[in-house]
Amino acid sequence: MSMQLAPSGHIPSLDGIRAVAILIVFAAHAGISAAIPGGFGVTVFFFLSGYLITHLLHREFMRTGGVDLPAFYMRRLLRLGPPILVTLAVGAVLVWAGLFQGEVEWRTLSSQVFFYYNYFAQYGDRHEIFGTEILWSLSVEEHFYLLWPALFLGIARGWVGLRFLGLLLGISLVWRWVRFSVLGHDELAIYLSSDTRMDGLLYGCLLALAEARGVAARWFPQGRGRFALLLGAALVILVSFALRDALFRSTLRYSLQGAALMPLFYYAVTRAGEWPFRALNAGWLRQIGVWSFTIYLCHFGVIIALEAHGVAVGSWQMVVAAAAISVIYAAAVAWLVERPMMRWRRLWARRGGRWANCPPYGCDGPHQSRRSTMDLVRSTPCSESLAIASAQVSSVISVSA
């Protein structure tokens, strides 16, 4: 069975998956979930990002015979930049007003804005606005996308095959083992570094290419066998949560989770109208998915600020207040920041721009309708790297555990 797109180009279930992931991360940070680690959210969102970006690159390649790299990077800049800059600016004002904790320090802010914070947090003298530590995961994504479009072109033009991606995934696992067992790097360093986490996106890329080439249907059974595969994938993920050995958590854990997500994503997309995936396409859940990037940017700072003002982590008051503030902020950013940016892109297009009519993560063609553009925007990853972090390095480890 192949992926069934809506006439608009919307890919089913992805907004719902994104919403579930942000809820997992939010629950971990708010102190109401010990069963599912918040760090699993970043793995889900890395996978989703690679999956959807690769689908969009494939569409562009099939339409034009290539990939417009300047347009690709400009779209990402215009999608990620405004919400990040606005959120950092709001955080800085709140720190100066005494409502948020942390420091406004230009070197740390620069590392966050220019996407090298995941390494600066490890090796630099970091002084961030509390709650912005989660921006490390965006650094991983942007480092990956410096490399992936060129590798995608090599695959699309037949220079290398899907087996090469399998080789890269194996090399990633071995490299994590080398860093942990030979070089002596700790679990946090493995968790934060681009060179040890980019394979999370590559698993999603592999699934998207397998679907585009028609081989995914041969990988995943379509009859009753799919239930056994889904159950097995879920069990693999649960076991990866339960095992506490540091070597496993720093090496094989990420590979097993990435591999297990492949059938889960495949069936969620190709069988979106069936149980249990039908629930992922509920309107309210999709809306949370649409706003999830901005919720991701702000929610942890909100939780830390509420705790500093006497609201207990794990209490219903924390959950309600943090959720309400985060959703209201995300809706405001969507209305006041992201909508004007979309209008600006359309205006630029009428003046001859080649990328401005495209949604933030891709373009479905020069004659794409307004409705299809909006639907595709809603199905694209909010960079969706929902990370686990904390005001202190030690709490990053404890929440992601």
Non-local CB neighbours of 368 within 8 Å, separated by 6+ positions: 9, 357, 358, 376
Output the six-digit token pair for 151: 């590798």
According to the model, what pLDDT value does residue 54 have? 97
Cα separation, 40 vs 139, whole angstroms: 17
Taking only the tens place, the pLDDT of each residue in 139-155 is: 999 999 999 999 999 99
Whether residue 384 has pLDDT greater than 80: no
Residue 346 reports pLDDT greater than 80: no
Q: What is the pLDDT of residue 347?
A: 67
Tokens representing 65 are 């015979």
Give CA angle at 310 (304, 311), nearest 5°: 65
Q: How far apart are CA 131 and CA 99, in angstroms?
A: 13
Q: Quick one: pLDDT at residue 382?
A: 35
Task: Say what the pLDDT of residue 366 is.
Answer: 29
Query: pLDDT band at 63, cuts 50/70/90?
Result: very high
- Give the pLDDT score at 131: 95
* Residue-level pLDDT at 350: 58
User: What does pTM read for this prediction?
Assistant: 0.85
In the prediction, which pLDDT does 117 show? 97
* CA 355 – CA 295 distance, rounded (Å): 27
Quick: pLDDT tens for 220-249. Answer: 988 888 999 999 999 999 999 999 999 999
What's residue 362's pLDDT?
Answer: 37
% of the chain exceeding 70 in pLDDT: 84
DSSP secondary structure code for residue 361 in this structure:
T
Can you give the pLDDT at residue 395?
39
Residue 108 near residue 131, CB atoms below 8 Å: no
Question: C-alpha angle 287/364/331, rounded to 5°?
Answer: 20
357 CB-near residues (< 8 Å, 6+ apart) = 345, 346, 349, 363, 366, 368, 373
In this predicted model, what pLDDT tens digit does every residue of 104-136 receive, in sequence order? 999 999 999 999 999 999 999 999 999 999 999
* Model confidence at 390: pLDDT above 90: no
Average pLDDT, the chain: 86
User: What is the reported pLDDT for 349?
Assistant: 53
Structure-model confidence comparison of residues 45 and 36, the more confident one: 45
Please report where in the chains the tokens 């679990």 appear, as a residue. Answer: 187
CB 112 within 8 A of CB 127: no
Mean pLDDT of 307-322: 96
- The pLDDT score that the predictor gives to residue 224 is 85
Residue 109 bridge partners (DSSP): none
Tell me which H or E stretch contains 96: helix 69-96
Whether residue 318 is predicted with pLDDT greater than 90 in this model: the reply is yes
* Closest listed residue to residue 221, CA positions, set 231, 213, 206, 209: 231
- pLDDT, residue 344, reads 74
